[in-house]
């Protein structure tokens, strides 16, 4: 049985237990454990099963048992815990094979005495000494090995007993132990919990979520949040955890911390989409600008000039021709400042260094004195200030920790010229972005927390998406969650203010299906003009125009922003084919904005949809009169004239279009005008141009041509003649 099948087994047991089908859960466990020879598991199964049978047997006695419900809940917990144990037994060999180094350097904390634990803590304190940079290479290696040993010991502990709890409390609460060490141990607890459920691990993350050090606290909050996502169904069986969750809304600062993590987590889930957007949209535009600059200004010669500070006066005009580049680069910077993961694509291929063979290294806070970084930079010859570079890299909030390590290991393999260019470019880019972030954030406590959240979640994202060993764990970035339908998440985030903030976040990022559910939840609890408007807009963007109209009509009752509503109602009515109602709305719009050409053109389009071509023509002529340079209006004028039998006028406008940027549709309509006017040769030429402009799309040409038979028949051109004309055009 592979790992995904084992996870499916656990999910099935959970669904059975939560839904009250305990018999089915026993059947599942019995089926999976039948081939096992583990006496301990069999004994536990027999005990739990016996308790369940006794509960059923005595449930219908005349004397009620006040302990029955608590016994039942304990039974549910025991079944799930037994399922966990069976899953671990089956996967243990596979898990060990995946991490062959684990047993070789892990410390079994359970077997340590208190004095031995004290010695380990003393060594951890020494490794956090401010003089750490001056310590010997061998000492650093020993300190690193000690930290990794504890990391794996915590990771591989299924349940935390008093000795693990006491050890962690001493380490985390020590003022002398570095936050870097504490952070990596918090990660170990998080992955240990995600690997194997244990309420004690939850309690420890709760405790550490109140820590005074932001780096330690934020990792604990993130670990707690991710674990809640994974176990949101199971936690309902644990009253003590529920009680701790219920206390969160009473602490507004703690709750805001969870909300900040949730927002950053949502952004992390969009990383793949952002990476595609950067690769498909932003990079090509920048490369295009670079090419245009090189061609237009002969940059090779420009670079030989002495004065590099003088701006080229032609640049402004060139960039005006490519306004999208500015917008895309500005969008890139804005996404980065707001915490979006914009560097995943750039660093995805730089995770093959030996450093990343060690699981714990994926989550190490960047440390310029790290032994492997020190060794890597010893191999580099060059005239750049290594210390200044590493110090700047450590302090920058732009890159996550994992990418900082990747960057360092990568530059040692570059030539001196490449390295200098890369570091100069990096320093310039980082300085620019750091200045932008400083202006935005001023790095107050809240902003610092956001930076920690972004960097740590990006580290986690890289591990899950780029490391094969991550398949041993549930991918936290693929877990489904629903704030308003999850009993657990509703406890933390279920007040109106938080739900509204989250809905607004989705709404501003055009994620209308997610925003809609939250707006509907809010609408069920309060009615407001803005909520109705935004809910209607979500329906509209999702193509549910009937519900959008319903919400817009409710919003109209508030007698606010009527013009905006009238436009949206007109649009939605058109989408469902109710053209008369759409026209009525836009007539009201025209009264408010009589000179808006977009409104005039749209009303003309509505009359066209409603087959009232005479009325449509009036509005298109108004657009032409008010904006004679607007050549786009020629097409609708030409078509309305053609349908109305005004062939000379139609031909005049379509000929104008062919002098501009004609489409295949324009050429097809021009051919119709020539044909009904008796100009067969010109008609055939126009039809051929239409076919060529459609990329020789024969299906489009035949279908569209035949759909116009009702208009051509006005001049006695029948379907037989049209069939012959189509074949004649296509044969040539």
- pLDDT per residue over 332-343, tens digit each? 566 666 667 878
Under 8 Å between Cβ of 255 and 490: no
Mean pLDDT score, 653-672: 90
Q: Using CA atoms, how far apart are residues 103 and 149, in angstroms rounded to an integer?
A: 9
**Measured between alpha carbons, how far is 223 from 257 in angstroms, rounded to an integer?**
13
Q: pLDDT of 486-513, one tens digit each?
A: 999 999 998 888 899 899 989 998 999 9
CA distance 47 to 49: 5
Contacts 24+ apart (CB under 8 A), 214-217: 214/445, 214/448, 214/449, 214/452, 215/179, 215/180, 215/182, 215/183, 215/365, 215/452, 216/172, 216/179, 216/182, 216/183, 216/186, 217/257
| Mean pLDDT, all residues of the chain | 84
How far apart, in Å, are the Cα atoms of 415 and each of 374, 380, 381, 382, 419?
A: 19, 10, 10, 10, 6
Domain boundary among 98, 120, 139: 98
- If you search the block for the tokens 């549709």, which residue do you land on? 665
Domain boundary pick from 472, 493, 527: 472
pLDDT tens for 55-100 read 888 877 766 777 889 999 999 999 999 999 988 888 775 544 444 4
Short-list 138, 150, 147, 184, CA closest to 374: 138
Interatomic CA distance for residues 279 and 296, integer angstroms: 25
* Judgement on whether residues 43 and 114 belong to the same structural domain of the protein: no
The residue with tokens 């279908």 is 703
- pTM exceeds cut of 0.85: no
Q: How far is 144 from 199, CA to CA, in rounded Å?
A: 29
Please compute the mean of the pLDDT values over residues 436-454 and round it to a whole number: 73
Contacts of 92 (CB under 8 A, 6+ apart): none
At 574 the pLDDT is 95
Can you list the alpha helix ranges (DSSP code H) found in 247-385? 252-269, 271-277, 283-297, 299-302, 315-320, 323-337, 344-347, 371-378
Answer yes or no: is 449 within a domain: yes
296 with 437, same domain: the answer is yes
The position carrying tokens 């096992």 is: 36
Residue located via tokens 């305990």: 22
Query: What confidence score (pLDDT) does residue 643 get?
Result: 92
Per-residue buried b or exposed e for 269-289, using 16+ beta carbons within 10 Å of the residue's own CB: bebeebbebbeeebeebbeeb
Indicate whether 424 and 335 sit together in one domain.
Answer: yes
The DSSP 8-state label assigned to residue 364 in this structure reads P
For residue 316, pLDDT over 50 is answered with no
Same domain, 66 and 126: no
Same domain for 294 and 182, yes or no, is no
Percent of the chain with pLDDT over 70: 83
- Is residue 484's pLDDT more than 60? yes
Which pLDDT belongs to residue 232?
94
Q: Which of 53-57, 415-419, 516-520, 570-574 is predicted least confidently?
A: 415-419
Assign 290 a pLDDT band (cuts: 50, 70, 90).
very low
Please, which contacts does 209-216 make with residues 24 or more away whose CB atoms are closer than 8 Å?
209/254, 209/257, 210/254, 211/172, 213/179, 213/182, 214/445, 214/448, 214/449, 214/452, 215/179, 215/180, 215/182, 215/183, 215/365, 215/452, 216/172, 216/179, 216/182, 216/183, 216/186
Structural domains counted in the chain: 3
pLDDT for the residue 113? 60
Q: Is residue 51 assigned to a domain?
A: yes
Q: Domain containing 178: what range?
A: 102-267
Share of the chain above pLDDT 90, in %: 51
Residues 276 and 422 in one domain: yes
Report the range of poorest mean pLDDT among 252-266, 289-303, 402-416, 564-578: 289-303
Compute the average pLDDT of residues 454-469: 93
Same domain, 373 and 442: yes
Q: Give the model's pLDDT for residue 97.
A: 42
Rounded to an integer, the average pLDDT of 406-421 is 82
Are 283 and 409 contained in the same domain?
yes
- Nearest Cα to 153, choosing from 116, 207, 115? 116
Could you give the CA distance from residue 669 to residue 652 in angstroms, rounded to a whole number?
Answer: 12
Average pLDDT of the segment spanning 516-524:
94
46 in any annotated domain: yes
pLDDT surpassing 90 at residue 715: no
More confidently predicted of 395 and 429: 395
Find the mean pLDDT for residues 301-309: 38
Q: Is the pLDDT of residue 315 over 50?
A: no
Count of residues making up the chain: 732
pLDDT at position 293: 39
pLDDT of residue 168: 92
List pLDDT tens digits, range 106-132: 566 655 665 666 777 777 777 665 445
Residue 719 counted as domain residue: no
Claim to verify: residue 255 and residue 367 sit in the same structural domain: no
Same domain, 365 and 280: yes
Residues 238 and 289 in one domain: no
Q: Is 615 exposed, middle or buried (0-12, 13-18, 19+ CB in 10 A)?
A: middle
Asked if residue 553 lies in contact with residue 559, where contact means CB atoms within 8 angstroms, the answer is no
Residues 150 and 86 in one domain: no
pLDDT of residue 499: 92
Which residues, other chains included, contact 556 with Cβ-Cβ below 8 Å and sequence gap of 6+? 562, 565
Q: Is the pLDDT of residue 573 over 80?
A: yes
> CA angle 103-108-111, nearest 5°?
145
């Amino acid at each position: 049985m592979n790992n995904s099948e084992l996870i499916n087994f656990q999910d099935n047991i959970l669904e059975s237990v939560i839904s009250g089908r305990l018999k089915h859960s026993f059947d599942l466990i019995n089926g999976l454990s039948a081939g096992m020879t583990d006496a301990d598991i069999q004994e536990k199964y027999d005990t739990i099963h016996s308790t369940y049978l006794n509960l059923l047997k005595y449930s219908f006695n005349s004397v009620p048992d006040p302990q029955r419900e608590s016994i039942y809940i304990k039974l549910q917990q025991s079944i799930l815990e037994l399922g966990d144990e069976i899953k671990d037994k089956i996967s243990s060999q596979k898990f060990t094979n995946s991490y062959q180094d684990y047993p070789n350097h892990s410390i079994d904390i359970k077997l340590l005495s208190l004095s031995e634990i004290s010695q380990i803590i003393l060594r951890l304190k020494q490794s956090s000494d401010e003089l750490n940079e001056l310590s010997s290479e061998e000492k650093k290696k020993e300190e690193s090995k000690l930290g990794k040993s504890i990391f794996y010991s915590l990771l591989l502990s299924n349940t935390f007993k008093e000795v693990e709890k006491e050890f962690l409390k001493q380490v985390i609460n020590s003022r002398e132990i570095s936050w870097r060490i504490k952070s990596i141990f918090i990660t170990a607890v998080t992955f240990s919990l995600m690997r194997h459920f244990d309420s004690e691990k939850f309690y420890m993350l709760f405790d550490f979520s109140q820590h005074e050090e932001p780096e330690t606290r934020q990792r604990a909050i993130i670990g707690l949040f991710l674990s809640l996502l994974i176990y949101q169904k199971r936690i309902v069986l644990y009253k003590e955890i529920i009680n701790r969750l219920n206390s969160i809304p009473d602490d507004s600062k703690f709750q805001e911390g969870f909300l900040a993590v949730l927002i950053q987590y949502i952004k992390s889930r969009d990383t793949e989409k952002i990476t595609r957007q950067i690769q498909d949209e932003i990079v090509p535009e920048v490369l295009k600008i670079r090419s245009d600059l090189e061609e237009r200004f002969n940059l090779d010669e420009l670079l030989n000039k002495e004065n590099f500070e003088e701006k080229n006066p032609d640049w402004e005009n060139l960039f005006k021709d490519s306004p999208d580049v500015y917008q895309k680069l500005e969008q890139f910077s804005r996404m980065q400042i707001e915490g979006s993961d914009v560097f995943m694509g750039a660093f995805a291929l730089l995770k093959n260094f030996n450093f990343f063979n060690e699981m714990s290294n994926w989550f190490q806070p960047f440390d310029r004195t790290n032994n492997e970084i020190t060794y890597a930079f010893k191999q580099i010859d060059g005239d750049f200030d290594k210390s200044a570079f590493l110090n700047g890299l450590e302090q920058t909030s732009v890159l996550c920790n994992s990418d900082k390590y990747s960057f360092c290991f990568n530059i040692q393999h570059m030539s001196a010229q490449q390295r200098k260019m890369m570091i100069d470019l990096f320093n310039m880019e980082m300085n620019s972005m750091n200045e932008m972030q400083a202006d935005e954030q001023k790095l107050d406590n809240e902003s610092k927390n956001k930076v920690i959240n972004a960097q740590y979640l990006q580290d986690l994202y890289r591990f899950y998406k780029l490391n094969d060993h991550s398949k041993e764990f549930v991918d936290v970035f693929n877990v489904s969650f629903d704030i308003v339908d999850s009993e657990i998440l509703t406890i933390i985030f279920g007040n109106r203010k938080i739900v509204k903030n989250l809905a607004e976040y989705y709404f501003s990022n055009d994620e209308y299906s997610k925003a809609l559910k939250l707006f509907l939840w809010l609408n069920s609890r309060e009615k407001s003009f803005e909520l109705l408007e935004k809910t209607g807009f979500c329906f509209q963007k999702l193509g549910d125009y009937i519900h959008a109209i319903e919400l817009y009509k409710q919003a109209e009752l508030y007698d606010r922003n009527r013009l905006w509503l009238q436009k949206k109602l007109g649009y939605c009515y058109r989408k469902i084919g109710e053209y008369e109602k759409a026209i009525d709305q836009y007539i009201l719009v025209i009264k408010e904005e009589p000179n808006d050409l977009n409104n005039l053109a749209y009303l003309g389009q509505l009359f066209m949809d409603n087959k009232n071509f005479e009325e449509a023509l009036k509005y298109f002529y108004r657009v032409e009169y008010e904006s004679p340079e607007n050549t786009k209006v020629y097409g609708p004028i030409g078509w309305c004239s053609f349908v109305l039998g005004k062939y000379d006028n139609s031909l005049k406008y379509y000929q104008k279009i062919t002098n501009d940027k004609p489409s295949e549709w324009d050429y097809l309509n021009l051919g119709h005008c020539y044909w009904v006017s008796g100009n067969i040769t010109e008609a055939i030429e126009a039809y051929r141009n239409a076919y060529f402009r459609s990329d020789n799309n024969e299906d489009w040409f035949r279908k569209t041509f035949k759909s116009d038979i009702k208009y051509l028949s006005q001049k006695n051109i029948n379907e037989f003649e049209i069939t012959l004309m189509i074949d004649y055009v296509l044969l040539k």
